Amino acid sequence: MSSQRTEKAVIARDLAIYYGSKPALEGVTFDLNAGETLLLLGPNGAGKTTLLKTIAGFHDKYEGVILVFGRKPEESRDFISYVPQSFSLNEKVPLSVIEVVAMGALYKSGIVHRKIPEEIIKKSEKALSFVGLEDIKDKPFKNLSGGQKQRVLLARALISDPKLLLLDEPLSALDPSARAEVASVLNKIKKKKGISMIITTHDINPLLEIGDWVMLINRRMIAFGPPDDALREEIIKTVYGPMAKVIKVEDKLYCLTGDFHIHLPGGKKP
Ligand SMILES: Nc1ncnc2c1ncn2[C@@H]1O[C@H](COP(=O)(O)OP(=O)(O)OP(=O)(O)O)[C@@H](O)[C@H]1O
Ligand SMILES: [Mg+2]
């Protein structure tokens, strides 16, 4: 028997999360090993953001167990990067791309600098190069496309060298080619950096390749397992209704929940 123990990025046991007296989400039990990616799926109001915020340590009204690398979420902030669902910048303040990235490190250190320290500029450039945007570092952030903005936010999340990345709807409001672009950066984060990730999405298809685990929730945990187990049609239908479908094309799984359109390679129709 191997004595090697796998490090757990997240452990949840019968987690119930509250805003008022009734749970917004309950019955959540899962393990995520270090380096693995969990895709979190569920309709509007299912509790996806609620679960991410709780894991990030921003919401502490819960019962049950939630541990991030063995510690309570509020004690794990140093190794978590959380990218919220809607990131808004005051666009009257004309921040450049590199300044937006550097903010990730400045916020974490809790120091407001007048001038960004050289060391943070270097780290920011490295992170921008990782997401393939080093050439536009001096451009105004507000002029970027949706896909580019999302990649900048990923660079910003990476500069604090997190062990767990929590990404709330990183593909929403993007067109199919931008979704593929962001999905390929996420794939690179997983392969090259080995960071554990939890990603919420309405469109699971561009992310299926990187998902080790899929969790389906709708105010309670409906399913958790490897994609082939969790994305079974009878399970999907309980959440998304009788029109939902799961199909396999050339050994690839596609999930049609009615929330999105699917785009098969070569423009084929499912
Ligand atoms: N701050 C809050 N106070 C009270 N109730 C809240 C709060 N935030 C969310 N809720 C409720 O908790 C439930 C889950 O919301 P949540 O935002 O987690 O869903 P979601 O799955 O992220 O939805 P979406 O796909 O629309 O982003 C909803 O019923 C929502 O109204
Ligand atoms: Mg949400």
Q: Check residue 139 and give left, alpha or beta (phi > 0: left; psi -120 to 50: alpha).
A: beta
If you take atom 14 of ligand 1, which residue's CA is the nearest one?
47
pLDDT at 11: 98
Atom number in ligand 1 closest to CA 202: 25
For the chain, the domain total comes to: 1
Atom number in ligand 1 closest to CA 85: 27
Residues with CB under 6 A from ligand 1: 19, 24, 42, 44-50, 85
224: phi then psi, degrees, rounded to nearest 5: -145, 130
State the pLDDT confidence band at 117, using cuts at 50, 70 and 90: confident
Mean pLDDT of 28-56: 96
**Mapping DSSP to helix (H, G, I), strand (E, B) and coil, where does residue 79 land?**
helix
If you take atom 2 of ligand 1, which residue's CA is the nearest one?
19
If you take atom 24 of ligand 1, which residue's CA is the nearest one?
44
pLDDT at 115: 77
pLDDT at 260: 46
Question: Does any domain span residue 34?
Answer: yes
State the pLDDT confidence band at 245, using cuts at 50, 70 and 90: confident
pLDDT over 90 (residue 110): no
pLDDT at 113: 55
Question: Does any domain span residue 103?
Answer: yes
* Encoded amino acid at 232, one letter: R
Tokens of 147: 């896909």
Instruction: Please tell me the distance between residue 254's alpha carbon and the centre of ligand 2 in angstroms.
Output: 22
- CATH code assigned at 94: 3.40.50.300
Tens digits of residue pLDDT in 131-152: 999 999 999 999 999 999 999 9
Of all residues in the chain, the percent with pLDDT exceeding 70 is: 88
Mean pLDDT of 91-112: 76
Atom number in ligand 1 closest to CA 42: 21
pLDDT over 90 (residue 173): no
Distance of CA 99 to the CA centre of its chain: 22
State the pLDDT confidence band at 178, using cuts at 50, 70 and 90: very high
Instruction: Please tell me the distance between residue 249's alpha carbon and the centre of ligand 1 in angstroms.
Output: 34
Mutational pocket test of ligand 1: of 15, 17, 18, 19, the residue with most ligand atoms within 8 Å of the beta carbon: 19
Question: Does any domain span residue 153?
Answer: yes
Question: Does any domain span residue 30?
Answer: yes
Alpha helices (H) along the chain: 48-56, 97-109, 118-130, 146-158, 176-188, 227-230, 233-240
Classify the C-alpha dihedral 238-25-162-106 as positive or negative: positive
Question: Does any domain span residue 47?
Answer: yes
pLDDT over 80 (residue 112): no
Tens digits of residue pLDDT in 20-39: 999 999 999 999 999 999 99
pLDDT over 70 (residue 225): yes
Mutational pocket test of ligand 1: of 49, 53, 62, the residue with most ligand atoms within 8 Å of the beta carbon: 49
Report in angstroms the alpha-carbon separations of 269 from 41, 228, 237, 260, 265.
23, 21, 21, 14, 9
- Distance, in Å, from the CA atom of 209 to the CA atom of 106, rounded to the nearest integer, reads 33
DSSP per residue, 202-218: S--GGGTTT-SEEEEES
- Distance, in Å, from the CA atom of 122 to the CA atom of 105, rounded to the nearest integer, reads 11
Of all residues in the chain, the percent with pLDDT exceeding 90 is: 69
Tokens of 98: 């590199």
Report in angstroms the alpha-carbon separations of 36 from 15, 145, 184, 226, 251.
20, 29, 16, 11, 22
Question: Does any domain span residue 3?
Answer: no
Nearest to 121 by CA among 84, 113, 151: 113
pLDDT over 80 (residue 262): no
How confident is the prediction for the chain on average, in pLDDT? Answer: 89
Which of 87-96, 97-106, 174-183 is most confident?
Answer: 174-183
Length of the chain measured in residues: 270
- Distance, in Å, from the CA atom of 94 to the CA atom of 82, rounded to the nearest integer, reads 23
Residue 69 lies in domain: 8-267
Mean pLDDT of 219-235: 93
pLDDT over 90 (residue 17): yes
Question: Does any domain span residue 80?
Answer: yes
Question: Does any domain span residue 2?
Answer: no
